[in-house]
Amino acid sequence: MTARLFLIFMAFTLLLGGSQALAQDDEPPRADEYQTRTDFLACRGNGYALCYYSGPSGEQPTKVGTTSPPLPCNPNISNTAACTCYALPDGRYQGEQTWNYVEVGSILNETVRELTIARCGETGERCLNLYSLHHDCREPDGVIAARAECEQAPVCGFLGNPAEGVPQTLYPELGDAVLISTFSFAYRDVHELGTTDCTQLESASYAGCMTAPCRADENGLTSCECPVYQGPYQVGQRYPELQCTLDAHIWSAAYHETSDAEE
């Protein structure tokens, strides 16, 4: 671990330890638990990191004609994991501006989480989200409707855009954290996007990377410090060789709690 990354690690560890909302209770933000598509608030115009495919130390199977660099998640001594993730500093993938998504209940900054929930609701239904972006808020001509419930959530304004010199403000005390980990559909043309259920494991741990701070790296990658949570989870990929348990590494994962109310 480099000295700069170590400083981020230590500062983020203090942030986790000092926030009551991040304590490991029933459903802490670090668990990255969600129920429905409206939970994912839609943001655009920001840079971000994508840790959705991170976990194993070596290369993972990819679609025909594609390759992926190793994207390991290495557990640290203080309940975080150092995860190598894709970096999209200008929010663009293959030249196009992408939508990316923040799970409303998994915003690690407690103040920003409460501000966002107050505006968007606990399930994100009062702001532009993964569901409304493609349904209620999408006009026939493709334009986003000019209504309050179709506006981007407050958290989007804290993500920054390093490509344009706009710093992230979700963790202003972490000067080297230039990207924030969110979710998007970038690289789905490379990886086998899907779901592998790992809820049967006992005492399993995973990295909950949603809104984790990340340090810019080279070659389109970034190093993110993700909080670790112990509980049931699903991996967001599906291929025959995928193993829920990794030697000396853990998956970047989440837990989808199904609900009868899900759209």
Tens of pLDDT along the chain (263 residues) come to 444 444 444 444 444 543 333 333 446 888 788 889 999 999 999 999 999 999 999 988 899 999 999 999 999 988 999 999 999 999 999 999 999 999 999 999 999 999 999 999 999 999 999 999 999 999 999 899 999 999 999 999 999 998 889 999 999 999 899 999 999 999 999 999 999 999 998 889 999 999 999 997 778 999 999 999 999 999 999 998 899 999 899 999 999 976 433 43
CA atoms within 13 A on the CB side of 41: 30
How far apart (Å, rounded) are the C-alpha atoms in residues 46 and 215? 15
**Residue 261, exposed/middle/buried by CB under 10 A (0-12, 13-18, 19+)?**
exposed
CA-to-CA separations, 251 to 27, 128, 145, 169, 236, in angstroms, rounded: 19, 29, 37, 27, 9
Closest by CA to 120, choosing from 160, 154, 158, 145, is 154
Q: Is 151 buried (19+), middle (13-18) or exposed (0-12) by CB count in 10 A? A: middle
Is-above-0.75 flag for pTM? Answer: yes
Please name the residue that has the structure tokens 């990377």: 209
Whether 152 contacts 119, CB under 8 Å: no
**C-alpha distances out from residue 76 to 6, 158, 184, Å:** 11, 27, 26
